[in-house]
Structure 1
């Protein structure tokens, strides 16, 4: 874990959640297959998330079945978009909150090096604790603001950048795009207003040298796929 995060919080004792009936079939529909041990780890994570939520505000979802749908399935819709991302590649999840979508991705793709960025100290401490408890050696936690990371040592160092429910794209693209390598992917989990946000963010995409690759409809929302171009972002002219 990164030294930037607080010492891990003690996690409440909780029994792992069992996938609801039909969950594996739903995964298959989006092109994802997870072995039983991987599903068990995912259930362990969800149980710990809901248990810790009674102490730290991590999610508005409290129902276990809803957590499988709106957290686990939603996060795993990103996995098919990573099929061409090689083992050892670096992924950063901006504004990770309770670990979504970063931790389910780290569970499903243990060959990726996953960095979770969360500025709220208590949430970052939970992320460090739950990653350690789940044995996720491929996860690092940074208790910092994305703005600072995008201007510092991590600028342009990630193959993939993800973000879910953080902000509208006009604000989100300048936070995420600087972290991506030239040619890297920026995957933004959005809802039904994705097209509206894209149109609104057209100028920002140009300034950040980032292009819209495609938008993918999923059972839980829409994923806006951006690709980072080469060169530095354009600087705004001073008035």
Structure 2
């Protein structure tokens, strides 16, 4: 079978990641629901089985190859969209305490249906990142944060790093030529009490390049951050 779940199993195996039959079936349900809902609301431009398997599922779970997320860790996926990388990581690691955050409610309706069908527990939060990070229950409350966003790194860091507790790690998923972006974010990362620990470059099966930044909190977060959304985008740190 050349469905997304079967392709993923092959791709993952080539990367040294083992997917159980149960996980394979969960990814099959995920792919089916994603394509079905995508006809009603715009969730993704990638709808072919190869694209879903490589660019969504594999790209999400490859984080596990480069960072050993502690058992039972509290994780937040910021601007989660159609659930990437948070839901694939939860499929692979059911022990994670997952929070899915997005500012668009109709995406969250999809995610509620998805997690129910997959039998996964997740907290689904409708809020803008900079507003959620000001709330006591989310601010510096997570040991692991992720984002697969188009925002430039200095902007992305101010949205995401305020969620990290001391010692927590942010996995920023970017495109192939992001090293310079990483350097441009060094000041922002330092101001937000963090430090880049590791930068990894890898290639997906069809040849798409990716860059993964792993950024760790090593100092307290100043009360100033995050700023208002308009300031973050107009005057990046």
Tell me the TM-score range normalised by the shorter chain: 0.7 to 0.9
Please list every run of at least 4 consecutive aligned residues from structure 1 whose deviation after the TM superposition is greater than 4 angstroms: none
Name structure 1 gaps, 5 residues minimum.
1-16
Which secondary structure state, in structure 2, belongs to the residue aligned with residue 148 of structure 1? helix
Where does residue 136 of structure 1 map in the other structure?
Answer: 120
Which secondary structure state, in structure 2, belongs to the residue aligned with residue 66 of structure 1? helix
Larger relative contact order (Cα-Cα within 8 Å, sequence gap ≥ 6): 1
CA contact (8 A) 1:194 1:224 kept: no
Where does residue 184 of structure 2 map in the other structure?
Answer: 200
Q: Which moved more, 1:210-219 or 1:117-126?
A: 210-219
Question: Aligned-residue CA RMSD in angstroms?
Answer: 1.8
Which secondary structure state, in structure 1, belongs to the residue aligned with residue 133 of structure 2? helix
Cα distance between partner residues in 1 of 2:88 and 2:18: 13
Q: Say if 1:113 and 1:105 are closer, same or farther in 2 by CA, change over 3 A.
A: same
- The structure richer in helix per residue is 2
One of 98, 123, 129 as aligned partner of 1:146:
129
Report the Cα offset of residue 156 of structure 1.
0.6
TM-score (norm 1): 0.86
Where does residue 209 of structure 1 map in the other structure?
Answer: 193
Q: Alpha-carbon deviations, 1:140-179, whole Å to 9, x = none?
A: 1101111111111210110100000241111100111010
Number of equivalent positions: 218
One of 88, 96, 104 as aligned partner of 1:120:
104
Report the Cα offset of residue 34 of structure 1.
1.3
TM-score (norm 2): 0.86
Q: Alpha-carbon deviations, 1:34-58, whole Å to 9, x = none?
A: 1111111011111101110000100
Report the Cα offset of residue 208 of structure 1.
0.5
Cα distance between partner residues in 1 of 2:11 and 2:198: 23
Cα distance between partner residues in 2 of 1:30 and 1:145: 34
Q: Alpha-carbon deviations, 1:5-24, whole Å to 9, x = none?
A: xxxxxxxxxxxx45345x43
Matched, 1:96 2:90: no
One of 41, 50, 54 as aligned partner of 2:26:
41
Cα distance between partner residues in 1 of 2:67 and 2:91: 14
Matched, 1:232 2:221: yes
How is 1:54-93 mapped onto 2 (pairs within 5 angstroms)?
54-83=39-68, 85-93=69-77
